[in-house]
Chains A and B, each alone.
Chain A
Amino acid sequence: MNESSPRHVAGHVPVLRLGDVLLVTLQGDLYDSAAQQLQQDLAETIAHSRVTGVVIDISGVEVVDSFLGRVLAEIAAQAELLAARTVVAGMRPAVAITLVELGLSLPGLRTALTTEAALELLDRPIVTPRSGGRRQERP
């Protein structure tokens, strides 16, 4: 392996608009500065475009440390203030296990197993978390 630059490094994160929802796909390893840039960009996009939901697909992310975890939590918090809900989709099992051991439980972060499930979740009327009974996840 003779690489001149790290593989899958995201210097800029694409944000896609699907109706009222922004779909953000994080891929590979993210510079701290790119994560912070994303946080700022999302705040502005949400404020200016009246989206009601944000889905952040992290299925392509191999590592979530306390820095990226905080960025995700802050994105969700600022979206909430701008009247949009955030769902983090597709967290890898190894990442979830590691986050718990790291001590980051990320309260207030809504999650879904897949992007589709996240979009479904955003489609529903707002209910207080876990008051709506058990969700059936489809494969």
Chain B
Amino acid sequence: MHTAAGAEARLPIRSDMDLVWVRQHVRQAAALIGFGLVDQTKLVTAASELARNTLVHGGGGQMEAARVSEHGTEGLRLVFTDTGPGIADLDRALSDGYTSGDGLGMGLGGARRLVHDFEVVSSPESGTTVRVTSWVTRPPRPREES
């Protein structure tokens, strides 16, 4: 379920203890893949917001983490899934300060700003899936070719 040595994992999100596990896994995975400290912190913070939404608004669910690679760039993809009530008005949910509960309403929109790719699929029938990906940004290195 949880391969501590790698980036791949599927973690349950059922308690605030699980939020700690999510943050630690994302931190370790991001470091492993080569994210710098600031980018690690951004991704972990986004994951914390999304995992808390899964827990609080979605009634619990899971996060899947996977290492991804595109055009030679390494990234970390996190997919948060729940079978909760879904998000009725996504634009409103993404706007800063909107909360249907007693939060600050900064989590969803804030998480979107903190990652490179952000996608939400949500319906009352199937719940909510939030998929985010961030890519390691490095100064380009000269390619070793001859």
Q: Which residues of A contact B (CB under 8 A)?
A: 1-3, 6-7, 9, 29, 31-33, 62-67, 69-70, 92-95, 97-98, 101-104
Q: Which residues of B contact A6 (CB under 8 A)?
A: 20-21, 24
Q: Which residues of A contact B17 (CB under 8 A)?
A: 31
Q: Which residues of B contact A63 (CB under 8 A)?
A: 23, 41, 44-45, 48
Majority secondary structure of chain B interface residues (helix, strand, loop or mixed): helix
B38 & A97 in contact (Cβ 8 Å cutoff): yes
B16 & A33 in contact (Cβ 8 Å cutoff): yes
**B104 interfacial contact with A, CB 8 Å:** yes
Number of A-B contacts (CB under 8 A): 81
Q: Which residues of B contact A65 (CB under 8 A)?
A: 45, 48-49, 52, 107
Range for the number of chain B residues in contact with chain A: 20 to 34
B106 & A103 in contact (Cβ 8 Å cutoff): yes
Residues facing A in B108-125 (CB within 8 A) are 109-111, 113-114
Of A7, A29, A62, A69, which is within 8 A of B104 by CB? A69
Q: How far is the CA of A63 from the CA of B23 in the complex (A)?
A: 9
Given contacts A29-B23, A65-B49, whether A98 and B114 have CB atoms under 8 Å apart is: yes
A98 & B41 in contact (Cβ 8 Å cutoff): yes
| B130 CB to nearest chain A CB (Å) | 15
**B79 interfacial contact with A, CB 8 Å:** no
Q: Which residues of A contact B52 (CB under 8 A)?
A: 32, 65, 67
- In the complex, what residue of chain B is closest to A104 when comparing beta carbons? B106
Given contacts A3-B4, A98-B114, A103-B113, whether A62 and B27 have CB atoms under 8 Å apart is: yes
A29 & B113 in contact (Cβ 8 Å cutoff): no
B24 & A102 in contact (Cβ 8 Å cutoff): no
Q: Which residues of A contact B38 (CB under 8 A)?
A: 93-94, 97-98
Q: How far is the CA of A97 from the CA of B37 in the complex (A)?
A: 11
| B124 CB to nearest chain A CB (Å) | 25
**B83 interfacial contact with A, CB 8 Å:** no
Q: Which residues of A contact B40 (CB under 8 A)?
A: 94
B41 & A97 in contact (Cβ 8 Å cutoff): yes
**B78 interfacial contact with A, CB 8 Å:** no
B114 & A101 in contact (Cβ 8 Å cutoff): yes
**B42 interfacial contact with A, CB 8 Å:** yes
Q: Which residues of A contact B4 (CB under 8 A)?
A: 1-3
Q: Which residues of A contact B106 (CB under 8 A)?
A: 66, 102-104
A102 & B45 in contact (Cβ 8 Å cutoff): yes
Q: Which residues of A contact B24 (CB under 8 A)?
A: 6-7, 29
- In the complex, what residue of chain B is closest to A7 when comparing beta carbons? B24
Of B21, B27, B45, which is within 8 A of A98 by CB? B45
Q: Which residues of A contact B44 (CB under 8 A)?
A: 62-63
